[in-house]
């Protein structure tokens, strides 16, 4: 890697770590105009910075405001890079459709998960809060989502997750999309009981499980391609 390219990627990463929105915009534009691929700018620049913030958060060296602000900045970076990524037909880590279930207006946990997923190179479609089952199903189908992630903070709203899974099953896309759930009242037992594929006890645990699903999926795809 040329030293200029290395410096540009470093700038991208640093602009996230230092929560510097102006520097991020400048660095993304410079990187693209210098011929760095959008995929490289994302994975070896922006996402690397986000990953560093995620590790600092896990170690207690930074806190929720910084983690969420970095996630928000990364979203800005992604918006600039998106048309270039499409043009490059870049292959991301996977597609995740995420939302807080119907009846529930809490978004903090969901937003932490989004920040962590983006740092790992996932394409995340955030449906927001109070999301009805048909919206989840529609988006999974539309984006050909690999993962459906649902969050809930209330004991009264988490049973709705069962309804979403039933709707996914009914439409036949349950076979292709894994379901991961999380939130304060959610437990491993509850996840099993409603037929989810995994429970994430926090954002990092959720990420580990989603990564494991994607790894299995890739192995499966490779195996079936090899058979052809």
Partner 1 sequence: MPFRDFVDLNNSRIETALRLEQPDQVPIQVYTAGDYLSRFIGVKPVEYYRDAKIMLAAQMAFRRRFYGLGCLGPDYSVVIEPSAFGASVIWREMEPPFPKPLLSNLEDVEKLEVPDPYSAGLIPALISTYRYMVEKVGERYVDPLTGALGPFDIAVLLRGTSQFLIDIAMKRDLVHKLLEKTTKFCEEFIKAREAISEVEWTTVYLGDDYPAFLSPNDFREFYIPYARSIFDKYKKKGRLCLWHCDGKFSERTLALIPELGIDGFLWPCPDIDLSVYKKSFGKKMALMGNLHSHLLMRSTPAEVDAAVKDQIKKGAPGGGYVFSLGGEVIHGTPPDNIETMIRAVEKYGKYPVSP
CB of 192 to partner 1, least distance (A): 14
Query: For partner 1, which is the closer residue by CB, 43 or 101?
Result: 101
Q: What is the DSSP annotation of 11-32?
A: HHHHHHHTT-HHHHHHHHHHHH
- The two tokens of residue 171 are 């439409």
| 34 in contact with partner 1 (CB under 8 A) | no
| 143 in contact with partner 1 (CB under 8 A) | no
Number of residues that bind partner 1 (CB under 8 A): 24
CB of 156 to partner 1, least distance (A): 5
Query: For partner 1, which is the closer residue by CB, 63 or 222?
Result: 63
CB of 63 to partner 1, least distance (A): 4
Q: Could you give the maximum distance between any two Cα atoms of the chain, in Å?
A: 55
CB of 198 to partner 1, least distance (A): 20
Q: Restricting to residues 75-134, name those near partner 1 by CB under 8 A.
A: 103-108, 111
Q: At what angle do helices 3-17 and 21-33 cross, to 10 degrees?
A: 160
DSSP run (H or E) holding 176: none
- Contact 41/9 with Cβ under 8 angstroms? yes
Query: For partner 1, which is the closer residue by CB, 101 or 177?
Result: 101
**Helix residue spans in the chain (DSSP H):** 3-17, 21-33, 38-41, 47-58, 64-88, 108-119, 133-143, 160-171, 188-194, 203-227
| 203 in contact with partner 1 (CB under 8 A) | no
| 211 in contact with partner 1 (CB under 8 A) | no
Burial of 3 (0-12, 13-18, 19+ CB in 10 A): exposed
| 59 in contact with partner 1 (CB under 8 A) | no
Binding mask 153-182 for partner 1 (x = CB under 8 A): -xxxx-------------------------
Which residues of the shown chain bind partner 1 in the complex (CB under 8 A)? 19, 21, 60, 62-66, 68-69, 72, 103-108, 111, 154-157, 184-185
């Amino acid at each position: 890697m040329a030293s200029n390219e290395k410096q540009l990627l470093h700038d991208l990463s640093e602009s996230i770590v230092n929560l510097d929105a102006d520097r991020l915009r400048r660095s993304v534009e410079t990187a693209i105009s210098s011929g760095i691929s959008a995929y490289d700018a994302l994975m070896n620049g922006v996402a690397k910075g986000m990953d560093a913030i995620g590790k600092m958060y896990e170690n207690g060296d930074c806190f929720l405001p910084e983690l969420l602000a970095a996630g928000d900045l990364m979203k800005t970076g992604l918006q600039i890079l998106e048309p270039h990524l499409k043009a490059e037909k870049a292959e991301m880590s996977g597609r995740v459709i995420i939302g807080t279930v119907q009846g529930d207006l809490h978004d903090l946990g969901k937003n932490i998960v989004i920040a962590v997923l983006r740092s790992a190179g996932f394409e995340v479609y955030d449906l927001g809060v109070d999301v009805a089952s048909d919206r989840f199903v529609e988006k999974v189908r539309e984006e050909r989502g690999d993962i459906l992630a649902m969050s809930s903070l209330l004991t009264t709203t988490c049973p709705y997750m069962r309804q979403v899974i039933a709707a996914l099953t009914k439409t036949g896309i349950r076979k292709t999309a894994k379901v991961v759930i999380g939130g304060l009242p959610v437990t491993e037992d509850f996840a099993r009981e409603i037929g989810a594929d995994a429970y994430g006890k926090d954002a990092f645990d959720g990420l580990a499980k989603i990564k494991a699903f994607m790894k299995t999926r890739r192995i499966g795809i490779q195996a079936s391609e090899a058979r052809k």
